Structure 1
Amino acid sequence: MGEYRNIGLETEVDLASPHRLVQMLLEGALDKIAVSKGCVQRGEIDKQNTHITWAVSIINGLRMSLDKTQGGEIAQNLDDLYDYMSRRLMEVSRDNDLAKLDEVTSLILEVKSAWDAIPGTVKGDANTPSEAGPTSGGIAESA
């Protein structure tokens, strides 16, 4: 079953616009944090740390993809936010504080909400007419 899911995910990634890829990464980070929270509650420390590490890797990937030259202040603010989220998640690995997981979840949901609100003309989706091109201030394409 997992094999079919992986094929579906690979296909979606191959066909996704840069905008959709960022959405998928944000969703992936939220998923890993949710699984990690369940692991904390069950005392499954090894599994918890594995999922936190995945979430941190996803967030760091978003951070590395920022175009600070084109994105300016917005990209720098996102960089700072992603850095903060990563540090908070690493703290969870140390002290198992569920409030920190909830805080990072809330922050990611805010970013995702803003990302989801980007108009179709800016997203660069293949199925959406785009007069503005695939970027918005240099960050819509990167994160």
Structure 2
Amino acid sequence: MFLENGYDSYQQVDLDAQAASASPHQLVVMLIDGLLDEIERTRGHIAAGRLEQKGTSIAKSMNILIGLDSALDMENGGEVAENLHQLYDFCQMELYQASLNNDLERLTNVERVMANIREGWVSFGQHA
């Protein structure tokens, strides 16, 4: 148990260090990676019947999506910001339905959408 807590602490320190030196594009990719990891945990919780942990994972995933959405510059972001807003909203609805119905297919939908958005951010970051 102690080793596991130590490892978790080490991972958090490493993540904090990465975030401190990351560009805005890298931060978005890190958030999306965290979301995708959390969705995978949600999948495991649903499969194992751990409903309380599933609820916690869904809430974490929703919070990440809300954070991503709130960072959008709707005034200056034009069509791209509006499209991302709609996709984040879609993902939140899918997570809600996944939680209500323990629906793994809804989680897959979110994973697909967010993997595509992640790919776009990674490409954009390489050209910026």
Q: Give the counterpart of 2:124 among 118, 127, 135.
A: 118
User: Aligned equivalents of 1:2 and 1:37: distance in 2?
Assistant: 21
CA-CA distance at 1:120 after TM superposition? 2.9
Instruction: Name the structure 2 match of 1:19.
Output: 25
Q: Distance in 2 between matches of 1:48 and 1:111?
A: 24
The counterpart of 2:96, out of the listed 75, 90, 96, is 90
Q: Distance in 1 between matches of 2:114 and 2:65?
A: 9
Matched with 2:66 is 60
Secondary structure of the residue that 1:16 maps to in structure 2? coil
Q: Hey, what does 1:108 align to over in structure 2?
A: 114
SS of the aligned residue for 1:118 comes to: helix
RMSD: 1.0
Structure 1 Cα separation of the partners of residues 12 and 103 of structure 2: 31
Give 1:12 shift: 0.7
Amino acid at match of 2:8: G
Question: What's the TM-score once normalised by structure 2's chain length?
Answer: 0.91
In the alignment, which residue of structure 1 is the partner of 2:42? 36
Structure 1 unaligned regions, length at least 5: 123-143
Count of paired positions: 122
- 4+ aligned runs moved over 6 Å, structure 1: none
Distance in 2 of aligned mates of 1:13 and 1:119: 15
- Distance in 2 separating the partners of 1:10 and 1:95: 35
TM-score, normalized by length of structure 1?
Answer: 0.82
Paired position in structure 1 for 2:15: 9
Please tell me the residue identity of whatever aligns with 1:47.
Q
Percent sequence identity is 33
Counterpart for residue 51 of structure 2:
45
Q: CA deviation at 1:114?
A: 1.1
**Offset at 1:103?**
0.5
Structure 2 stretches lacking a partner, 5+ long = 1-6
Q: CA deviation at 1:121?
A: 4.2
